Chain A
Amino acid sequence: DPKIIQKPKYLVAVTGSEKILICEQYLGHNAMYWYRQSAKKPLEFMFSYSYQKLMDNQTASSRFQPQSSKKNHLDLQITALKPDDSATYFCASSQDWGPNTGQLYFGEGSKLTVL
Chain B
Amino acid sequence: QEKVQQSPESLIVPEGAMSSLNCTFSNSASQSIWWYQQHPGKGPEALISIFSNGNKKEGRLTVYLNRASLHVSLHIRDSQPSDSAVYLCAVSKGSNYQLIWGSGTKLIIKP
Contact = CB atoms under 8 A, between A and B. Distances in A.
A106 B103 contact: no
Interface string B39-63: 0011111100100000000000000
**SS class of chain A's interface: helix, strand, loop or mixed?**
loop
A34 to B, nearest CB: 12
Interface residues of B, number: 22
**SS class of chain B's interface: helix, strand, loop or mixed?**
strand
Contacts of A99: 31, 97
Nearest to B92: A101
B103 A41 contact: yes
Chain A, interface size category, equals 20 to 34
A42 B99 contact: no
Interface of B: 4, 31, 34, 41-46, 49, 88, 90, 92, 96-104
Interface of A: 4, 40-45, 48, 55-56, 58, 90, 92, 97-99, 101, 103-109
